[in-house]
Structure 1
Amino acid sequence: MSEDPETARQIAELARDSRPLLVLDVDEVLLEFMVPFMRFLDAQGLAFLARSFKLTGNVVDQKTQKPLEQAAVSALLEGFFHAQREWQSAAPGAADAVAGLAAGAEVVLLTAMPHRHRDIRRQHLDALGFPYPLLTTERAKGPALRLLRGEASRPVAFVDDIAHNLVSVRDAVADAHLFNLMSYREMRAFLPPLPDDIVIEDDWAQAAPKIATALGI
């Protein structure tokens, strides 16, 4: 797995911190994604049919029920992220839970999205009560988290809704504490089986105490 040069540049700008490290995905972890995205689709005469854990093949024309091709889905995502402030809201309990954890840990947000959307996402997260450093990446998250942690052996926890992101971090930082959290839990039925060392939680009320324990805070 290789590092994203732009992500590495963003990490280099962060102040050095020796506290336990908590790295959080954004979509479906801090912000609702699926429900707002479905509303976004509906406004354009489209629909999401939950048949697998992916977007392409499941986004269809409401009239014809014909699935959209990859290029069309990518264009929809581009439009959605550009207008995210009009659609996305905070996941229930996320702002208060993360604020509590931030009292004893360094909190960094790591979102998989085109770097060009970073400024829009930064403004939206600030408005919703998530004033923590934001990193964007267009590659695997594992190398980014390894670079974030640095040489110190401080405890690290990572929260994401996507299985391959969690596995990527586990492969890069073997002792990371891994948590699967998903605001739209209906999609969990389509997840591939998760390794036993990934803790699955339904909401922030359940996840926050376990994350605190894992980080020793």
Structure 2
Amino acid sequence: MAADRPEGVVRLGHRPLIVSDVDEVALEFLTPFKLFLESRQHRLVPRSFRLTGNIIDLNNGEAASEAAVKALLDAFYDAQEQWQTPAAQVVKTLAELSTEADIVFLTAMPPRHAARRRALLDALGLPYPLLASEEPKGPLVEQLHGGRELPVVFIDDILRNLHSVRDHAPSCLLINLMANAEFRALAPVPGRGIHAAADWAEAAPLIRGHFRRWAPRN
């Protein structure tokens, strides 16, 4: 297995599958990341829907370089348990959905941070299997689902991930969810076949509706 491939084994039951991103979907990311940056003499300025170019070094007033942004992200993930908290209603919503579906977290982060993320999710009451990978998410969701004739749902804040899953798992319900309202307002329009949800209260009925519409196969 290549070093950047997700580790671990996920065993699914004969139930619908929900695959959820973590940052900005299950866990608050931008709000705690802004606080983290302030502690490192940087500031995140919401001028566009991206990090690089919008993180300002308060020592010189200049935008942090791409390499500096990557280093700040690595430092944040090394201390994520000190900063990140659950997104609104996620613990309750996923606990309820877990009675009728399998849930897997698919997080776009270097796998070296996965153990810290696993410990944080467990501590917050989000014990569902976790895969950490920097690969495109579409093939990973396709592999997870395995062509089963059961409903599958994918939830993410980044459109390229939703588009990737749309290309590789066309039967999947796609939900664009982002916890931070300030940056959500800067995000591109989701586009064809992608449902927007402001939070888990809006996402849950979409998911249950998808389950109900799925005709049983005999």
Greater helix percent: which structure?
1
In structure 1, the partner of 2:73 is 77
Find out whether 1:122 has 2:118 as its counterpart. yes
TM-score of the superposition, structure 1-length normalised?
0.93
Structure 2 CA distance for aligned equivalents of residues 210 and 15 of structure 1: 25
Q: Deviation digits for residues 113-156 of structure 1, max 9, x if unmatched?
A: 00001100000000001000000111100000000001312110
In structure 2, the partner of 1:210 is 206
Aligned structure 1 segments of 4 or more residues deviating by more than 3 angstroms = none
Structure 2 CA distance for aligned equivalents of residues 160 and 200 of structure 1: 10
- The alpha-carbon deviation at position 68 of structure 1 amounts to 0.5
1:26 to 22, 40, 43: 22
- The alpha-carbon deviation at position 207 of structure 1 amounts to 1.2
Q: Deviation digits for residues 77-123 of structure 1, max 9, x if unmatched?
A: 00000100000000111000011111000100000000001100000
Q: Secondary structure at the match of 2:107?
A: strand
In structure 2, the partner of 1:54 is 50
Structure 2 gaps of 5+ residues are 214-218
Determine if contact 2:4/2:111 at 8 Å carries over to the other structure: no
- The alpha-carbon deviation at position 52 of structure 1 amounts to 1.1
Query: What are the equivalent positions in structure 2 for 1:1-217 lying under 5 Å apart?
Result: 6-7=5-6, 9-10=7-8, 13-216=9-212
Determine if contact 2:105/2:131 at 8 Å carries over to the other structure: yes
- The alpha-carbon deviation at position 4 of structure 1 amounts to 8.4
Query: How many residues are treated as equivalent by the alignment?
Result: 212
Determine if contact 2:4/2:110 at 8 Å carries over to the other structure: no
- The alpha-carbon deviation at position 189 of structure 1 amounts to 2.5
TM-score of the superposition, structure 2-length normalised?
0.93
Q: Percent identity?
A: 44
Determine if contact 1:22/1:157 at 8 Å carries over to the other structure: yes
Structure 1 gaps of 5+ residues are none
